[in-house]
A and B are shown apart, each in its own frame.
Chain A
Amino acid sequence: MIESQRHSYHLVDPSPWPISGSLGALATTVGGVMYMHSFQGGATLLSLGLIFILYTMFVWWRDVLRESTLEGHHTKVVQLGPRYGSIPFIVSEVMFLFAFFRASSHSSLAPTVEIGGIWPPKGIGVLDPREIPFLNTPILLSSGAAVTWAHHAILAGKEKRAVYALVATVSLALVFTGFQGMEYYQAPFTISDSIYGSTFFLATGFHGFHVIIGTLFLIICGIRQYLGHLTKEHHVGFEAAAWYWHFVDVVRLFPFVSIYWWGGI
């Protein structure tokens, strides 16, 4: 903390990133609409917007990292902000994914007359739940156990062991994504094959997308652990990543039980 400062709050400096992120979002939405309606320059504006957003994410998080790790602005009371903030964020993510599982259940529990009143619809060759799905679920749950191992290592001050545990966590995550990609590649149906394909790929696809986000989050934590950024007293970024990872983990059980298992037998 700076000498003249008589409180423990972090008064942030003016930053260009909120407005640059907003402009990136504007360019992305307008460019996205233009692209999807085949307007000239739509693809260019969309790519520009996405690059702008990714750039803003990088520099904004870089600044936060400097303020917290290098300048020491994230006091105990400041750490409460991101800690409490990550909870409603994860809750909103659960609600987002719940909508897709609800859509899937809505379509499969009382299949409409249009698809013959049967589930899976005629002509859909479903995946065997005892093959990749039954292998991938424990792989993801194991990586949830490995992230807890990393947490205990950080709390015990075993820095090297924490890096190993995070490498194990990320490796299991990558194996999960690899198998999921293989499953998609080999699936005998596509997203355009009836309501079955639509709900299947929407639910499992958005879950898989969140697995990828969580994996990137954990990779960053692993790098920062390796660089000595995380201490046993101060590792909010890691805790947020671990919570996010447990959310992704628990959410996997819903598609496994209701889409692959119940919907596949």
Chain B
Amino acid sequence: MAEVSIELKTAPADFRFPTTNQTRHCFTRYIEFHRCVAAKGDDSSECQKFANYYRSLCPGEWVERWNEQRDNGTFPGPL
């Protein structure tokens, strides 16, 4: 029987966000991902890490809401 090893990883500790509450960390990674995509293009491999970070940190509903807000042009963050 072949051993399948799955590597589980979350976002690394970031000293900009030293508090237990990681809301701002999640939000910043979300913004960083979209800024990266805007600067380097959709299929740039460099941006993938930001996506992994925010998907690991942010609750799904928040991401859905922010995606909706970006579509409507009502996203409040500095994109």
Contact = CB atoms under 8 A, between A and B. Distances in A.
Contacts of A117: 24, 27-28, 77-78
Nearest to A123: B76
Interface centre among B23, B24, B76, B78 (most CB of A within 10 A): B76
Contacts of A118: 76-78
B75 to A, nearest CB: 7
Interface centre among A113, A114, A115, A121 (most CB of B within 10 A): A113
A122 interface: yes
> For this complex, into which size category does the number of interface residues on chain B fall?
under 10
B54 to A, nearest CB: 12
> For this complex, into which size category does the number of interface residues on chain A fall?
under 10
B75 A113 contact: no
Contacts of B28: 117
A14 interface: no
Majority secondary structure, A binding face:
loop
Contacts of B78: 116-118, 122
A117 to B, nearest CB: 6
A122 B78 CA distance: 8
Nearest to B30: A113
Nearest to B78: A118
Contacts of B27: 113, 117
A24 B27 CA distance: 51
Interface of B: 23-24, 27-28, 75-78
7 nearest interchain CB pairs?
A: A116-B76, A116-B77, A113-B27, A122-B76, A115-B76, A118-B78, A113-B23
22 contacts: A113-B23, A113-B24, A113-B27, A113-B77, A114-B76, A115-B76, A116-B75, A116-B76, A116-B77, A116-B78, A117-B24, A117-B27, A117-B28, A117-B77, A117-B78, A118-B76, A118-B77, A118-B78, A121-B76, A122-B76, A122-B77, A122-B78
